Amino acid sequence: MSTVAELPAGAGPAPAEQLAARWEEPRTVRAWFTTVDHKRIGRRYLVTASVFFGLAGVSAILLRTQLAGPEAGLLSPQEYNQLFSMHGTAMIFLFATPMLFGFGNFLVPLMIGARDMAFPRLNAFGYWVFLFAGVFMWASLPAGAAPNGGWFAYVPLTDEVNSPGLHLDVYTLGLLFLGISTTAGAINFIVTALKLRAPGMSLNRVPIFVWAIVATSFMVLFALPALNLDNGLLFLDRRFGTHFFDPEAGGNVLLWQHLFWIFGHPDVYIIVMPALGIVSAVLPAFCRRGLVAYPLVVLGVVSISIISFGVWAHHMFATGLPQLSLSFFSAASSIITIPSGLQLFAWLTTMLLGRLVMRAPLLFVIGFIVTFVIGGFTGAMFALTAFDQQVTDSYFVVAHFHYVLFGGAVFPILAAVYFWLPKITGRMFSERLARWAFWLIFIGMNVTFFPMHLSGLFGMPRRVYTYPEGLGWDPWNLLATLGSYILAVGLLLVVVGVVHALRRGKPAADDPWGGDTLEWATTSPPAPYNFPVLPEVHSLHPVWDPRTAESVAAGAPEARTLAEGRQTIRTSELDARYEQPIEMPESSLRPLVAATGLLVVFGGLLFDWYWVAAGGGLLLALTMVGWLWPPAEPT
Amino acid sequence: MRGGVAAVTEPAALATELPAGRSTGWWGMALFIATESTLFAALLGSYFYLRFQAGPQWPPAGIRPPELFLPLIMTALLLPSSLPLLWAERGIRRGQQWRLRAGLAATIALGASFLSLQAMEYASSLEEFTFTTDVYGSLYYVITGFHGAHVTIGLLMLTWLLAAALRGKFGVRRHERVRIAALYWHFVDLVWAAILFTVYLSPRL
Ligand code: HEM
Ligand SMILES: [Cu+2]
């Protein structure tokens, strides 16, 4: 099983040269702004999301420092409110999803044997919108106008009367702005995975990571509208005096919570699902065997994405919903542990049956399994309505969701950073540094968040900027704060490791881990056109499969070289039969201009400058007219 | 440049010559419509949620149930507006430029009349209540206004198609954009049926 068939680098020099001429971009400033290469865009997503992670992390360190002891005066209550709201909002919306979309962007076309995403310019547009929306939100913090109503911004706390100022307008508009990017990205992933898979990659040969990204994208398409609507209505209520959330005039505050959690629960899986996909991608390489029970894992992925829409009200057990609906949501919430458990057992069995190679990425995967199981355990406790009502809004909840989110997203993301760093940068990292980072992060993470279970059970509420002495909370808070410093050092070591690899790292082999998916079949880093010959896929583990290797050897048919133009192959949805080559767009400034138009729209809305907003809309519309204009006849 | 057989069998030529299967653009639009439908579903769902939480009287005291005369005429304009578009699309598949242009123009005319009637409707209902009167007013204007915005975007797309069609940009094998934009229009069109039911008919049930 584990014989690694080396794929030859290309089909002779001539097509490679032709391809380079069509795909390579000049090293100019203009090219930097106009690129549509999914690999560059993917890298930008990764870097930008990491910066937002850093900002949200610094906010968290400030929060923990304030809470280290009773009655501390580092932060004012107003500052504390803004910092925890920005921390939560940024971690969820500006870090977790974009980071995973970054890996998706870089990897999905490579894993399915394509030359780019289905809509490369939309992809560039999505990145610029993400960047602008992130800056839009973070810029409010130094201005003292950052969101301050928590990451789920419940009304009536967040209505105009109770939260005057721009804070919540930054929140609603920022998330609406960002939603455009997320939606565009989701559509792009689905269409790419549906239509651009290499010939022969029928659905039962699609890597789990791609499945996970596609399932996530579907969840985005069906969950995000609820959040967008919620934010749109809140903005209208606050700015234009409508009454959706105003009980005085027939509105209803619970509408906010319903819409928010119809989005919010699937969002937990939107964050965790691609991370689980990462785990399924990393394991085979370090267990020297394919993932056990592939069809069951795929089934698990798909069923999670469906069931997760039926459980939202478990976030509202304390709002006085009818008893029967509580029971329903409680049951549904318990059922969803089954497909999650299924994946867990598939990984454990893979590890049991394989030969483990203990390298940094695998360490992070194991760290993930440990923390995620603890988080899942406390999660199952919440599914019991009675327990939930005891600990709701306490630090127990904070402990729980950090075990799930840090364990379920950050550990896999770090595994992914180390796993794909050689492919992305073409450099190997220092294993020693990586191990130090792992242990500091693993220990720091547990020392930070485990004590919060206890302070929560002892009654400490979340979102308090300080607390009096002598309630029995002091030692646990001090411990948590110390843990967060250890954690911060560990995370810094990751950055050091990446910079070190870029500067000093040894050149990476094309396939340093002996991975099984197609990204390992091309050079590290990949050429702008990804593959000189687009492969024909014969199994679930194309790189371990000699027939697939043969398909890219010299003498491959012109139909899979496509060196004449800037093209990739379109195949049929289910069984990936060859349909036709399709023309891919050249680089363009339009995505950036369109995103700038949107930035003007949202800036104008924020500051009441409606004519400016209209001008931005016009810029956007005019750009689209040119963008979508039918191209000249092919010559 | 290249002659005979090579010119039509080499990939660049094949790419534009042989339509087989659904295109990426078609899927992109289909998925966009899926997410937009969810948005409208959430909006109309919120209407019913607020209505049933608001108590027995709907519309609330002081507002009469909506008039049906104008909305029914608007329906009679909008729903059939998909037909000329279908006819136009069939036409360009056979290379009939005139059918494409005429069909597009007809749909645009119907859509524009729909919007002007909506403006008339607003003019009369605004005398009675506005979007700040109460939650009913908010729902009424936001739902119909949001749909109106979609119709406007649809009209811009169709106008853009017409401009390209007048320059002869489409042909027997090159009309993917017509197909995709038409898909969006049919969607905007169908959503109106759901809005007619929710906003105009359901208060009378
Ligand atoms: C880097 C290490 C992290 C530390 C030290 C940290 C610390 C904290 C603390 C102390 C709070 C509670 C604030 C309060 O209730 O007063 C908090 C809230 C929160 N954190 Fe983290 N966190 C970290 C990472 C993350 C990650 C990776 C995520 C998600 C991907 C995340 C998501 C959240 C959310 C959603 C909240 C709730 C905010 C709210 O109450 O509105 N955190 N964090
Ligand atoms: Cu949930």
Distance between CA atoms of B35 and A220, rounded to whole angstroms? 9
| Residue of higher predicted confidence among B15 and B155 | B155
Number of neighbouring beta carbons within 10 Å of residue A248:
8
Domains of chain B, each with CATH number or no CATH? 28-204 (1.20.120.80)
Number of domains in chain A: 2
Q: Which residues does ligand 1 sit against, CB inside 6 Å?
A: A 57, 60, 63-64, 84-85, 87-88, 91-92, 96, 150-151, 398, 402, 405-406, 409-410, 448, 462-463, 484, 487
Residue A18 lies in a domain: no
Task: Flag if B169 and A259 touch (Cβ within 8 Å).
Answer: no
What ligand has the least distance to the C-alpha of A307?
Answer: 2
Is pLDDT at B155 greater than 50 in this prediction?
Answer: yes
**What is the pLDDT averaged over residues A507-530?**
94
Residue of A nearest to B136 (CA): A250
Atom of ligand 1 nearest to the CA of A63: 10
Q: Residue A26 corresponds to which tokens in the numbers above?
A: 């000049």
ipTM: 0.94
Span between the terminal Cα atoms of chain B, in Å? 70
Is A479 in the same domain as A603? no
Domain span at residue A617 reads 590-630
Select the residue of A255, A572, A580 nearest B15 (Cβ to Cβ).
Answer: A580
Is A375 in the same domain as A392? yes
Is A209 in the same domain as A313? yes
User: Using only C-alpha atoms, what is the Rg of chain B?
Assistant: 21
Is A582 in the same domain as A594? no
Is A616 in the same domain as A494? no
Return the residue whose CA atom lies nearest to atom 41 of ligand 1.
A150
Atom of ligand 1 nearest to the CA of A464: 16
Is A608 in the same domain as A541? no
Residue A12 lies in a domain: no
Is A530 in the same domain as A616? no
What pLDDT, on a 0 to 100 scale, did the predictor assign at position B147? 98
Residue B10: its chain A contacts at CB < 8 A?
558, 564
A453-463 pLDDT, tens per residue? 999 999 999 99
Angle between helices B97-128 and B176-195 in degrees, nearest 10 = 30
Half-sphere exposure of A126 (CA within 13 A, CB side): 28
Residue A13 lies in a domain: no
Q: How far is CA A399 from CA A69, A381, A496, in A?
A: 18, 13, 28
What pLDDT, on a 0 to 100 scale, did the predictor assign at position B133? 93
B97-143 pLDDT, tens per residue? 999 999 999 999 999 999 999 999 999 999 999 999 999 999 999 99
Residue A635 lies in a domain: no
Task: Give start and end residues of each alpha helix (H) in A196-207.
Answer: none
Of A279, A478, A303, A274, nearest to A370 by C-alpha is: A279
Residue A39 lies in a domain: yes
**Domain of residue A82, CATH code:** 1.20.210.10
Is A128 in the same domain as A68? yes
Residue B38: its chain A contacts at CB < 8 A?
221-222, 225-226
> A236 by DSSP, 3-state: which?
helix
Identify the sign of the CA torsion A385, A390, A395, A400: negative
Nearest-Cα distance to chain B for A250, in Å, is 5
Return the residue whose CA atom lies nearest to atom 6 of ligand 1.
A60
Element (H, E) at A307: helix A294-307
- Identify whether the C-beta of residue B107 lies closer than 8 Å to the C-beta of residue B82: yes
Is A603 in the same domain as A529? no
Is A498 in the same domain as A602? no
What pLDDT, on a 0 to 100 scale, did the predictor assign at position B19? 53
Is A624 in the same domain as A485? no
Is A404 in the same domain as A437? yes
Residue A3 lies in a domain: no
A336-368 pLDDT, tens per residue? 888 888 999 999 999 999 999 999 999 999 999
Q: How far is CA A176 from CA A136, A522, B107, B144, in A?
A: 11, 38, 31, 20
Residue of A nearest to B132 (CA): A242
